[in-house]
Amino acid sequence: MTEQGKINREGARPASLFERADAAFGIGPARVPAVPPVPQAVRRAAPPQPQPAPITPMATAKPATAPEPVPPEAEAPRAVAFCGPFAPIDREHLRDGGLIVPEDPVTGLLEEFRIIKRELLADARAGAVSGHGALSRRILVCSPHQGEGKTYCAINLAIALAAERGLEVLLVDADVVKPSVALRLGIAAEQGLMDAIADPAIAPESLVIRTDIEGLFVLPAGAASSLDAEYLASARTGDVLDRLTQGAPDRIVIFDTPPALAASPAAELAQHVGQAVLVVRADETSRAALEDAQQLLSACGDIKLLLNAARYSPSGRRFGTYVTKGK
């Protein structure tokens, strides 16, 4: 690299860095040869200027069409209100029948059905998460044979469920062969489930009896006929049940059906429920009868076994009394 002290700095010139380098290293000014003028004879004519392309008139634009209106989202169905007659339930009648009485002190019977209802409610909530909410809130109570306590368990289960805060429980007497729910509750009933299925002009909610047990409603069996099995197998059954449960996430429907090995309604209704409780009597129901009943209810994917009238518990568990003593 050139030291600045070797560059000539005397006078005003050289002033630029290039001129200083010429003075120090003797490079001399760059000589650019002059370009001779082009003879007139060899001058070329200027290239012709390109002519502008003819302007093609644009096609007339079509007026923009307005976008098609987007249809509004379908509103979620609203729950129908039960608007049938009102009937009070005689508490003494419940006690005489060995059923749960809501206002009475807590008993071992009530605690047993509290345990049962907890499992049913848990599966109903799980069904709501999986997208089968309405189906999982329909619970069928059945038995292989008569006399095993399926109506007794259905009524007690409905009363225990009705004690849940914010829950509506509809107890449906689907035993059209031998209806007994209204009789055991001590209420009068005329029209019911079969009337609503047989006649599309009848709104099923108008036949639901409102009781004085908070949260408990009853739909009687209605008038029986020789075509009950065909009515239950029709599409109208699904329409009626959908109307009773759609848009009501806090509504549980309990069906008391005829024994599975005695009549066909249990097998037909098993297609419309998400849970089934098969009631068997301890030391009486045979294994063959239990398996046959389970096969008939196989349209329901969740069948639970309820052992009724058990005199002992393999684990030794037994509910006793636990009350608060007064001062």
| Cβ–Cβ under 8 Å, residues 241 and 255 | no
Using DSSP, state whether 19 is helix, strand or coil.
Answer: helix
* Residue spans per domain, the chain: 92-308
Query: In terms of residues, how long is the chain?
Result: 327
| Cβ–Cβ under 8 Å, residues 299 and 162 | no
Report the candidate in 234, 287, 224, 282 with the shortest Cα–Cα distance to residue 258: 224
Upper half-sphere CA count for residue 191 (Cβ side, 13 Å) = 14
pTM for this prediction: 0.74
Phi first, then psi, for residue 254 (nearest 5°) are -110, 125
Q: How far is 253 from 138, CA to CA, in rounded Å?
A: 5
Q: How far is 285 from 148, CA to CA, in rounded Å?
A: 8
User: Span 92-308: which CATH code?
Assistant: 3.40.50.300
Per-residue pLDDT of the chain (327 residues; tens, 9 = 90+): 545 444 444 444 444 444 544 455 454 444 444 444 444 444 455 555 656 555 555 555 555 555 566 555 556 678 999 999 999 999 999 999 999 999 999 999 999 999 999 999 999 999 888 877 789 999 999 999 999 999 999 999 999 999 999 999 999 999 998 999 999 999 998 899 999 999 999 999 999 999 999 999 999 999 999 999 999 999 999 999 999 998 999 999 999 999 999 999 999 999 999 999 999 999 899 999 999 999 999 999 999 999 998 875 555 555 444 444 443
In eight-state DSSP terms, residue 77 is P
- The tokens describing 205, both together, are 């909610």
